[in-house]
Copies of this chain bind each other. A is one copy, B any other.
Amino acid sequence: MNYQEIFIEVNKKLKSCKDDGTVASYIPELHKVSPSKFGVHMCTVTGENYGFGDSEEKFSIQSISKVLSLSMAFEIEKNQLWKRVGVEPSGNPFNSLVQLEYDAGIPRNPFINAGAIVIADILISKLKNPNIEFIDFVRKLSGNNEINYCERIAKSEKSKGHRNAALCNLMKSFGNIENNIHDVIEFYFDLCSIEMTCSELARTFLFLANYGVNPLDGEKIISSSKSKRINAVMQLCGLYDEAGEFSFKVGLPGKSGVGGGIAVVHPGKYSMVVWSPRLNKKGNSSKGLRFLEEFTSYTESSIF
C-alpha cells in the first residue's frame, strides 16, 4: 500500500470514532470554520506528494508559524538566542504567566506564547522590514508567492490580546523585550495569522525533514545541527502540555495550532500536515491527533 491508500484506510478506521472537541471560539474569525473539515498532506524528501480530503483548502496555521519564526531567528542569532528563551517543556498550559514569573522573564521554550513573543521581538530588532522579510521566507519555503498574513484574523486576535499584552509587559519588566510592546504584539499576531493549505504547509516544513536542506532544489535553509535542534524542541514542547502524550503515541516531532492544524516531520523521510478544526481540552486538533496516532502505528513510523 502506498501512503495515499494508507490515508484512506486510516480514515476509515476513524469513522467509527466520534469527532469530539470544539472549534476554537475565542476569536470570531476562527469560529467560522466548518468543524467537519479534514485534510492531510505528506511531502517526502524524495519529492513525492500525497493528499487527502480538504488538503487544498486554506486554514489559519496559528501557532505552527512559531516553528518558522524560530527557524529564521535561530539562523540569525545562532546560540545567542538561547540566552533569552529556554528549551524545556513548560509543564503548564500554553499561556501561563506563572512559570514566567518564577523564571524571571525567561520563557521556558519558544513555542509557548511568551517564547514566541520573544522570538518576534528578536526578529524586529534584527530585520529591516520584519513583516515583509518573514512572509518572503514563508513564501520561498512553501513555493507559493501568494501566501499572506490574514488581516481579519490578526485584527480579531488583537482585539482580544490582553493576556499576550500581559505576558509582553511582564517580560519587559524583566528586561527581556527590546522593542515597543505595541509593535511586538502586532507582529506576533501577524505571524500567527498566516493562512495556508495542508499541502503548502507540508512543503514549507520539508526542510526540517531533510536536515535543514530543501530537497526539491537543494537550498540550505538552516544548518543540519539547527534543524535537529528545532525538531528536538518540537518533540518536547510542540503540543503544549500534551507533548508527552504526543511523543508517546505519535513518536514524531510536531507542532500544533488552534486553527486545528498539526505539522509533523519524520527526519530523513517526510513532512506531513493534518488539519481538523475541532480541538480537545488541551487545544490540539482532536481528530488530527487520532489520525496521526493510527497512521504512525500503521506505518510503524516513529523516531524511537
Interface residues of A (CB under 8 A from B): 86-92, 96-99, 101-102, 108-109, 160, 162-163, 165-170, 172-173, 181, 224-225, 227-229, 231-233, 235-237, 241-245, 247-249, 251, 253, 267, 297, 300, 302-304
A245 CB contact (under 8 Å) in B87, B91, B168, B227: B87
A173 touches B169 (CB 8 A): no
Which residues of B have CB within 8 Å of A251? Answer: 228-229, 232
For A236, list chain B residues within 8 Å (CB).
89, 235-236, 243-244, 247
CA distance A89 to B235 in the complex (A): 12
Q: Which residues of B contact A88 (CB under 8 A)?
A: 89, 91, 241-245
Question: Could you say which of B87, B165, B170, B172 contacts A248, with CB atoms under 8 Å apart?
Answer: B87
Given known pairs A163-B173, A169-B165, A169-B169, the reply for A99 and B91 (CB within 8 Å) is yes
State how many angstroms separate the Cβ of A200 from the closest Cβ of chain B.
23
Known: A109-B244, A236-B244. A97 touches B304 (CB 8 A): no
A244 — which chain B residues lie within 8 A by C-beta? 86-89, 108-109, 232-233, 236-237
Which residues does chain B contribute within 8 Å of A165, judged by CB atoms? Answer: 165-166, 169, 181
Instruction: Pull 11 A–B residue pairs with CB atoms less than 8 Å apart, ordered by A.
Output: A88-B89, A89-B236, A96-B101, A97-B101, A97-B166, A97-B170, A162-B173, A163-B173, A165-B181, A224-B300, A236-B244
B248→A232 contact, CB < 8 A? yes
- Lowest 5 CB-CB distances: which A-B pairs, in order? A91-B91, A88-B244, A231-B304, A166-B169, A162-B173
Q: How many copies does the complex hold?
A: 4
Alpha-carbon distance between A92 and B103 when the two chains are bound, in angstroms = 12
Bound together, the chains give a CA A301 to CA B41 distance in angstroms of 28
Q: Give A235 to B228 CA distance when docked, in angstroms.
A: 14
Which residues of chain B come closer than 8 Å to A303, judged between CB atoms?
A: 267, 303-304
A304 to chain B: which residues have CB within 8 Å?
227-229, 231-232, 235, 253, 267, 303
Q: Which residues of B contact A89 (CB under 8 A)?
A: 88-89, 91, 236, 243-244
By beta carbon, the residue of chain B nearest A93 is B101
A68 smallest CB distance to B (angstroms): 17
Most chain-B CB neighbours within 10 Å: which of A92, A170, A227? A170
**In the assembled complex, how far is the CB of residue A208 from the closest CB belonging to chain B, in whole angstroms?**
9
Chain B residues within an 8 Å CB radius of A169: 162-163, 165-166, 169
Q: Which residue of B lies closest to A99 (CB)?
A: B91
User: What residues of chain B lie closer than 8 Å to A90, measured between beta carbons?
Assistant: 91
Contact of A235 among B235, B267, B300 (CB under 8 A): B235
| Given known contacts A167-B166, A232-B251, A108 and B91 CB-to-CB distance under 8 angstroms | yes
Residues of B within 8 A of A267 (CB): 302-304
Complex Cα distance A170/B109, Å? 21
Q: How far is the CA of A249 from the CA of B225 in the complex (A)?
A: 9
With A96-B101, A228-B302, A236-B243 known, 17 other A-B pairs at CB within 8 A are A87-B244, A87-B247, A88-B91, A91-B91, A91-B108, A97-B98, A98-B98, A108-B244, A160-B173, A162-B181, A163-B169, A166-B173, A227-B304, A229-B249, A229-B251, A236-B247, A237-B244
